[in-house]
Amino acid sequence: MLFADFLLRADLIAEFKAEEKKDQLVAAAYTAWLMGSAGGKKSFKSYLVGLGLMDKPEPLTREEKREMARRSYSTAARIIDLDRKRRERG
């Protein structure tokens, strides 16, 4: 095995172990959040940000907000349409 391959594999193993540890910490944080250590006022996402287990999300641009709203309205319209069709059949 070449030394460069060894270093690459060592880096991959270290990344995998770090990700696994982070997943374990998130699972523990979820249990604590469910038990109310966040005071019942924080979302799980903001709780993770406060613990440093998640980066604070970047604010959405106006265009991204519009696109999200458009997709949401489109999804809601499809759900209403499917429900209307279901009611007509049965």
Where b means 16+ CB within 10 Å and e means fewer, 7-45 reads eeeeeeeeeeeeeeeeeeebeebeeebeeeebeeeeeee
The pLDDT value recorded for residue 64 is 95
Alpha helices in the chain (DSSP H): 3-34, 44-51, 62-89
The pLDDT value recorded for residue 36 is 83
**In the chain, which residues have pLDDT < 50?**
none
* Residue 14 in tokens: 């270290």
The pLDDT value recorded for residue 39 is 59
Q: How many residues does the chain have?
A: 90
pTM for this prediction:
0.58
